[in-house]
Amino acid sequence: MKKNLLLFLFAILLIPASIRAQEVQKITIQDAIEIALENNYALKQAKNNLNLAEESIFSEYADFLPSVSSSLSGSRTSGQQFIFDRFSEGLDPFVNITSQSLSGRISANMNIFNGFNNILTLRASEESKVSREESLQRAQESVIFNTASRYLQVLLDKELLEIAKENLVTSQKQLEQINAQVEVGSRPAVDKYNQEATVANDELAVTQRENSLALNRILLIRQLQIDPLGNYEFVVPDVSDASEYSLVAYELEYLINDALKYRSDIRSEEADINALEYQLLLSKSSLLPTISASYGVSSRYSDQYSLAGQDVSFSDQFFDQQVNKSLGLSFSLPLFNNWNRMYNIQASQVQLKNARLSLDNTKLQVVQEVTQAYNDYSSYAKQLEASEKSLVASEKAFETQQERYNVGASTLIELSQAQANYASAKSNYTQAIYNLIFQEKLVDYYLGKLTGEDIKF
């Protein structure tokens, strides 16, 4: 009875899981971008680095405050001690005594001048925070772009698979028609064999498209960092009509200027350079003198302490008679530190030079990326126009060859070639649309203007 009950409960727990496994989760491109931004580990790391930079700034502000420390110690001592009164009385002056004592101290130290160390460190930390913010922004743009790219590739694979399947259906229908004509003797048997080879090749094309779709689907799921065993349907928007797609009138000079102005990676490196400039000043400040002030209060208690031969209580000793106060001012001038400070200055200068060289190289790379993206966009726009014309012409050619073949005015080779040209034209047209959409997003990415809200078709 108990065993059956356990099995029943186990089955109840499994039923919802099996139901959920059959559910299809529909994901649009906007959904995919939101999921990727939420799950991406690199973004989480960038956010953690930004939080650490914010904590660093808070710590630098706290350095302007004095440092306060306290200590409390107690001891118990046993051993012989020399008692002068016993010696004067002719008694043995050495007596075994056990004594107990307690001491405490509170002190505060404050930098009055330390070569502007605190100010420079705070400014460097603020620039580091700006750099982390810009790095986070660029990381978000990369996630959006990579997600959109993977999504577009899956959509393109779906479209190409549908085209391959339609081409296969057409080939199979032609094979049925040719078989009927061969049986009545109106067509030679070789047409049948040639068409069977065409069908087999079209079946192979469908299989290859299915494999490509499966692979890119896995890559998209990996990009989203969701359960790879889940059942997902990636929604295909209607992008088949190129006449509804409006071309963007780009101007290369404005694109380059915008990229140099808005790119987060450039602004991040500029903030790093500012931080290194403060670090250089910080290294030079080590040559300056430092001035600090201190204040302390200490007290102690001992059971051997007496006043006029009378024992003194703990409260009278610790809070009154043995309280000491101190106030200090110190001045320190560095003279020689084994050349370490000069080396640190030189190292900071080299780091600053390298950072500036890196920024120049990044700007040059940005110019190259934007120029290439602009040229590719222009090329894809022309390809779309040409592929649209080719599609219309190849469709009419295929229909004409189909009619001529049906009346015996054309050969199977001519019909097969027309069908292949039509299928190729449809694939080229579909790829041209997606390539142009992808290239537009790539331009936005290289300009540093890509956000999750502007991924539209």
- Whether 165 maps to a domain, the answer reads no
Lowest mean pLDDT among 82-96, 146-160, 274-288: 82-96
In a domain, 403, yes or no: yes
Let me know whether 47 and 102 are in one domain.
Answer: no
301: DSSP letter: E
Contacts 24+ apart (CB under 8 A), 242-249: 242/384, 242/388, 242/429, 242/432, 242/433, 245/384, 245/433, 245/436, 245/437, 247/381, 247/436, 248/377, 248/440, 248/443
Residues 30-63: tens digit of each pLDDT? 888 899 999 998 899 989 999 999 999 998 888 8
* Percentage of the chain modeled with pLDDT above 90: 35
Assess if residue 313 is contained within a domain.
no
pLDDT score recorded for residue 244: 54
Task: Please report, rounded to a whole number, the percentage of residues in the chain having pLDDT higher than 70.
Answer: 89
User: Domain of 92?
Assistant: 71-109
Q: Are residues 147 and 280 in the same domain?
A: yes
Shared domain check, 84 and 222: no
Q: In Å, what is the CA distance from 410 to each residue of 185, 372, 398?
A: 16, 46, 11
Is the residue at 177 inside a domain? Answer: no
44 and 85 share one domain: no
Q: Are 27 and 233 in contact (CB under 8 A)?
A: yes
For 428, the 3-state DSSP assignment is helix
Answer with the residue of higher pLDDT: 247 or 323: 323
Same domain as 105, residue 45: no
Residue among 112, 122, 124 nearest 288 (CA) = 112
Task: Provide the pLDDT for residue 3.
Answer: 47
- Residue 151 falls inside a structural domain: yes
Q: Which of 420, 433, 382 is CA-nearest to residue 159?
A: 433
**CB 370 within 8 Å of CB 261:** no
Contact 271, 126 (CB under 8 A): no
Answer yes or no: is 140 within a domain.
yes
88 with 228, same domain: the answer is no
Query: What whole-number distance in Å separates Cα of residue 330 and Cα of residue 333?
Result: 10
Residue 347 amino acid letter: A
Token pair belonging to 339 = 């050349």
Q: Are residues 151 and 277 in the same domain?
A: yes
Please list the residues that pair with 69 across neighbouring strands. 107
Place of tokens 């409260």: 315
> How many domains are contained in the chain?
2
Amino acid at 249: A
Give pLDDT, residue 304. 76
Q: In the chain, what is the straight-line distance between the N-terminal and C-terminal CA atoms, in Å?
A: 61
Whether residues 257 and 243 share a domain: the answer is yes
For 303-358, the pLDDT digits (tens) are 877 777 678 888 888 888 889 999 999 998 888 777 888 898 999 999 999 999 99
Instruction: Report pLDDT for 375.
Output: 92
Q: Is residue 406 assigned to a domain?
A: yes
Residue with the bigger pLDDT between 115 and 6: it is 115
Residue 393, amino acid: A
**Residue 393, helix vs strand vs coil:** helix
User: Do residue 403 and residue 362 come from a single domain?
Assistant: yes
- Asked whether residue 333 is assigned to any structural domain, the reply reads no
DSSP 230-294: S-EEE-------GGGPPPP---HHHHHHHHHHH-HHHHHHHHHHHHHHHHHHHHHGGGS-EEEEE
| Residues 150, 79 within the same domain | no
CB 318 within 8 A of CB 299: yes
Q: Are 238 and 92 in a shared domain?
A: no
Q: Which of 332, 342, 352, 345 is nearest to 282 (CA)?
A: 345
144 with 75, same domain?
Answer: no
Rounded to the nearest 5°, which phi and psi values hold at 453? -85, -15
Please report, for the domain that includes residue 266, its CATH number.
Answer: 1.20.1600.10
**Cα–Cα distance, 285 to 292 (Å, whole number):** 16
Beta-strand ranges (E) seen in 273-378 are 290-302, 306-307, 310-311, 324-332
